[in-house]
Chain A
Amino acid sequence: MAAARTVLRSFLPFLVGIPVLLAVQWFLDRSEMGTEKLILINVAINVVLAVSLNVVNGFTGQFSLGHAGFMAVGAYTAAKITLVWAGEPVAGLSPDLSEQLVFTLALVAGMGTAALAGFLVGMPSLRLRGDYLAIVTLGFGMIIVSIIENVEPLGRAIGLSGIPRLTTVVWAGVAVIATISMARRLAISTQGRALFAIREDEVAAEAMGVDTTGYKVRAFVISAAFAGLAGGLMVHLLQLATPRSFTFIRSFEVVVMVVLGGLGSITGSVLAAAFLTVVIELLREFDKFRMVIYAVMLIALMLLRPQGLFGTRELWDLPLFRRLPWRRLGVTPGVEGASPTEVRDDEQGGTR
C-alpha cells in the first residue's frame, strides 16, 4: 500500500503530462506543422541539457564544460542499440510496439553509459576546483570526440547514419518532465541542500559533515545521465550521429543557457534554453547577421543582468506559491531587502 502510494507520487508528473503531450502531438500532426514540431523537440532537448547541467554548474557550483561529451556517449550508445535491434521485432509484439520498446531500452542504456562516463571522469577530477575542473572537463569532451573520430564501429568522422526517426514530441516531453522533476526534487531535498552547501563554502560544508567529493561525483553522475538522454533523443531526431554535433561548442551553448537563465535556477534554465533555441530559429532569415545579433543580445543581457534572468530564484518562490503549505519542504527562499540588520553591519565595518 505504502509502496503503491510512493510509486504514484513519484510518477504523478508523467501521469499528468503524457495525456497533454499526446494531445499536442495529435494537434501538430493534424495541422501538419512540421517545422514547429521540430523546433519544439529541439527546445525540449535543450531544456533537458540546460537543466541537467545546472545540477552541476548551478546547484553544486562546479564549472563543467564537458556536457557535450556525455551527450555523445549517450547518443552513440542509443544509436548503436536501435541500429542493431530496431529492425527485428521482439517475439510476440507488433513491429511498432517492439520498436518503441527497443528505443526505451536504447535511451536507458544511453543514460547508463553516460552516467558511467560521468563517474569515471568525476572520480579523479572532482578534487580539482574552479578553472582546473573546467579544463579537465573540456579535455574530456575533446577526448570523446577524437575517440569517435578514430573508432571504426562508431563511423569515424562520417558518423552513423540511417538511425530510425523515433524521437517524437511525446518522447521529448517525457524527457523534459523527467529532468525537471529530478532537478526540482533534488533542490528541495536534504541532498540538494548539501550540494548548495558545497557551492556556498566547500570548507564549511566539509566541516558540517557533508562528504563533498562524494556529493560532487553524485551530482556529476546524475547530470551526465540526463545529458546522455538528450543525446539519445537528438540522434533519433536527426537520424544521424556525427562527432561534429558533440564538439565543445555544443557544451558552450548549454553553459550559455544555464548562465543566462541564472546559475542554480531551474526555471531560468528552462526559459533560457527555450528562448535561445527559438531565437536562433527566428534569426534564420537574417542569415549572415544571425550570429552577430545573437552575440550582441547575449552581451547586452549579461551586462544588464549579470546574475542571469532568474538569479537563483524559481517560479515557485513567487509570493503566490510561497503561501502553499509545502513551501517549507525545500530550500526556503530568503527574505530579501530591508532588515534592521544592514545598518548594524555597516557600523561594524561589514561582515561579508
Chain B
Amino acid sequence: MSELVLQADRVTMRFGGLRALSEFTLSMRAGELVGLIGPNGAGKTTAFNALTGVYVPTEGEVRVAGARVNGMRPHQICIRGIARTFQNIRLFKELTALDNVRIACHAGAETGFFDALFLTGHHKREEQRILERAEAYLDVMNLLHRADELAKNLPYGEQRRLEIARALATGPKVLCLDEPAAGMNASEKTELMALIRDIRQKFGLAILLIEHDMRVAMGVSERMIVLDHGVTIAEGKPEEIRRNPKVIEAYLGDAYLEEQHIAVPVSGPESAS
C-alpha cells in the first residue's frame, strides 16, 4: 500500500450556530481518486476550504503526508502538497496562460527579490527552469498553443483545463477539483473524465473531486463520500452509493428518475450527442 497523503480526522466547521461540516473524516493514498458528492449546500466546498486552509477547522485535524497543517495559511498548505481549482474559475484573467502557470511554479523557486533586482546567474537559471516547467504543464493539458493568450480570452473548457494545469504546476500530492465539469457540455465532460484519469496516472496523484454531475462523479471515482447538511451519510464504491437508500433519499430524492440516467455507462449513447 502506498503512503497516506491526506488525512482529515473528524474535521468540523462551525460558523456561529451553524455546523457547516461535522466530523468529516477522510484518508487518501497516492493514486486514489475519491469523489465527494452531495446536494447543494451540503458542505462540499466547506470541506475543501477546511482542507486547503481557507478556513481553519473548528475541531479535528488535517494532515498532509503525515504533517499537521491545521491553522496554516493557504500558501503554506499549498507548498506542503494540496493544490486546488475553484468552483467559479479563478484564473489571473489579465495575464497570459503561460504566466498563470508560471506563477504556480513560483512556490518552489529558490530565488528572492535580491536575485531578481540584481539579475544573478542563479536567478536566470531559476527563471529558465520555471519557464520549462510551465510549458511542460501547458503541454500536458494540451494548451501549449495558447501560451501567449490572455486567460480571459480562452474558451470555457480551456479555462478549466488551464486551472488544472496551474494547480498541477504547484507540484501537489493531492489535487482537489471543485466541480471541474460545471458548465461543460456532454462531449467536454467525456474529455474531462479521460483527462482526470490521465493526470492521475501520469502524476501518481491523489485526486479529490467535488462533482455535481453524477455521470462524471460515478464515472471516475473509485470511492465516494456523500455529504448532506455537513454530515457524511455514506461512503463506498460508486455501485454501493448508487443503491444506498439514504443517498437516494437525500441526494437523488425527487430526481430519482435520474438514476436511470446515471446507470448509463460512460461510453453510452448520450455521450455521442
* A residues neighboring B (CB under 8 Å): 2, 5-6, 9-10, 182, 185-186, 189-194, 196-197, 200-201, 203-212, 218, 222, 312, 328-329, 331-336, 339-342, 344-345, 348, 351-352
Contact = CB atoms under 8 A, between A and B. Distances in A.
B149 interface: yes
A161 to B, nearest CB: 36
Contacts of A201: 90-93
Contacts of A190: 102-103, 105-106, 109, 111, 116, 126-127, 130
Contacts of A352: 93, 152
Contact of B104 (A185, A209, A211): A209
B55 interface: no
A341 B106 contact: no
A193 B150 contact: no
A208 B171 CA distance: 10
A208 B170 contact: yes
B183 A209 contact: no
A12 B116 CA distance: 15
Interface of B: 52, 54, 73-76, 78-79, 83-84, 86, 89-96, 98-99, 102-109, 111-113, 116-121, 123, 126-127, 130-131, 147-150, 152-156, 158-159, 166-167, 170, 183
Contact of A6 (B90, B121, B170): B121
Contacts of B84: 207
Contact of B102 (A2, A193, A204, A212): A193
B94 A312 contact: yes
Contact of A204 (B92, B152, B183): B92
Contacts of B78: 206-209
Contacts of A192: 116
A344 B107 CA distance: 33
A202 to B, nearest CB: 10
Nearest to A339: B153
Given A190-B111, A194-B103, A208-B166, A345 B95 contact: no
A341 B150 contact: no
Interface centre among A191, A209, A212, A218 (most CB of B within 10 A): A209
A197 B103 contact: yes
A191 B254 CA distance: 52
A345 B156 contact: yes
Contact of A203 (B90, B98, B121, B152): B90
Contacts of B108: 209
